[in-house]
Amino acid sequence: MMSSCQNAAMVYHRRIISFLYALLVCSGLAIGVGAATPVKNSVVANIATPPPNNKQNAVDINKKPKNDAAPSVVHWGYNYPDHPPSATGSGAEEELTPEKWKEKFPQCDSSRKNSRQSPVAIDTKSIRAGSDPQRDALKASSYEEEPSKSVWNAVNTGHGVQFSANWAHTPEIYDGGLPGHYTFTQFHFHWGGINGRGSEHIIDGKPSALELHLVHRRSYESDLEATRDPVGLAVVGVLFEVSNQDKQLRTVEPFPPHLDLLLSTLNELDQPDAKRDLVLKGFRLVDLLPANRTFYRYMGSLTTPPCSEAAIWSVMATPLKIPEKYLLAFRKLHSKKTKPGNTKDDLLVDNFRPVQPLAGRNVSVYMLRPVTHSMQRSIEGNLRPINISRQLSIPEEQHAPDVFVF
């Protein structure tokens, strides 16, 4: 028989145990309560405990979603009216066509206020002339020089064919209304699936079969810095017409010398990411320009995503000739990797962006006479270059001494 003291002690202990149990229940830690301990940054912490006897609201974390396919790959591309891209890989690849670029790249939206997207349609009847063509002549250095060991680095980017090189003195362009010196970085081409289309810029309503872009960036900026600068890039555009259609089109100049050396190597760039170091003896940047140096000038953007509005455009007014056999070589390239011998799927054609609204921008024309070596020195003697670097507080740099007048 227990004494009164023992009874009192047992009652006391029971009350303590009841208190501790109640405390545990309130904290959600008691066995059998069913509430999980909150865990920070845990997947479990993000799954709510289902209400009892409610099968509709219960969450089965082991059940796989109905669509367990790999997520589709989204990237930008072009409109391919004759050769639509095929679906390859674990999931169907979705290409953003030009009208949808703005969904991933906001600057590509030409409906924005004060947008300056490229390319544009140039109407020669509505443009204004430059104020002083002689003073504003576009000039270049090292354009008549071959790169080191005559080597050009070529690559099929999947969106086009791009060429670059290394020089003892990297080519530059300057004057001609440019706010400083611009260093050459690369040139690339845009072309169509047929002869009646392919160029990005259109002059007087007539597209050309091919367009070349010579890209330059401000000499004291990196590539990234240049795309963030409203005048960080200077692009020279050159149009090409098919040589066997000259009679139906406007004045076209002869096929440039040495350009056949470059274009004859296109078969080595059949697949995307294909890279080649090409030795092209005698080939220089000047070979890519028409003798008539008249050009159209406007403020624009890159014609590919992210469509950075950083480009000063100089579109040469006179197209060059190109034999149709080289256009056919362009059209055999592929935008995606294909099996050997596949000449139908994923062809790299029609890699041009449609023209964008001018949106109030001015297009100027600089009407310059053809420049030959015999008259180059006399023309240079009449030029009065402006020290733009000093006026805009741009750091002056050392440049190659040779001068080529556009």
Catalytic residues: 159
Q: Which residues contact 104 (CB under 8 A, 6 or more apart)?
A: 74, 76, 96, 305
Among residues 291, 310, 308, 290, which one has the least CA distance to residue 299? 310
Among residues 119, 104, 79, which one has the least CA distance to residue 303? 119
Report residue 289 as tokens.
């320009």
Q: Which residues contact 268 (CB under 8 A, 6 or more apart)?
A: 154, 274, 276, 278
**Alpha helices (H) along 159-310:** 223-227, 259-263
Q: What do you get for the CA distance between the two ends of the chain, in Å?
A: 120
How many CA atoms, within 13 angstroms, populate the side-chain half-sphere of residue 352? 28
The partner residues of 314 in beta bridges, in order of sequence, read: 236, 297
Phi-psi region of 356 (alpha: psi -120 to 50; beta: other; left: phi over 0): beta
Report residue 36 as tokens.
């999980």
Q: From CA 58, how far away is CA 60, in angstroms rounded?
A: 7
How many Cβ atoms from other residues are within 10 Å of residue 122's Cβ?
21
* Burial class of residue 182, CB neighbours in 10 A (0-12, 13-18, 19+): buried
Are the CB atoms for 296 and 127 separated by under 8 Å?
A: yes
Are the CB atoms for 278 and 151 separated by under 8 Å?
A: yes
